[in-house]
Amino acid sequence: MDLSSNADSGTLIVTVNEKRIDASVAIQFKDRMRVETEGQDGRVVLNLSQVDFIDSSGLGAIVAAMKQLGQDRRLELSCLSTNVDKVFRLTRMDTVFNIHDTLADALSH
């Protein structure tokens, strides 16, 4: 699972450099998110601009990553493709996460 991260104005941006988050990579995703966010403070924005498919295991992995951050930190999402956005809306997970249309929108909040 290829993730990259950088900090911008106190926000950690984690970018998923893969087309899919599904059952075949869900555990790797959770492990990589833990590595990317360990020792960091503040909010985390998950940039999903390159992801065009997510299944229930991938959705569960994103929820697990949010829980790994603890109660004091937020995980927000940005740049969801139409297909990924549909999954979040159909499962009502759009009520759990702050979802931003663009990375610039996420950083301005």
Q: How far apart are CA 67 and CA 47, in angstroms?
A: 17
What b/e sequence results for 45-66 when a residue is b if at least 16 CB atoms lie within 10 Å of its CB, and e otherwise?
bbbbeebeebeeebbebbbebb
Residue 40 is predicted with a pLDDT of 80
**% the chain with pLDDT above 70:** 100
- pTM, two decimals, is 0.93
pLDDT digits (tens, 9 = 90+) for 43-92: 999 999 999 999 999 999 999 999 999 888 889 999 999 999 999 999 99
Which among 98, 83, 95, 82 has a CA at the least distance from the CA of 45?
Answer: 98
Band (42; pLDDT cuts 50, 70, 90): confident
Q: How far apart are CA 88 and CA 28, in angstroms?
A: 21
Say if residues 18 and 2 touch (Cβ distance below 8 Å): yes
Three-state SS at 91: coil
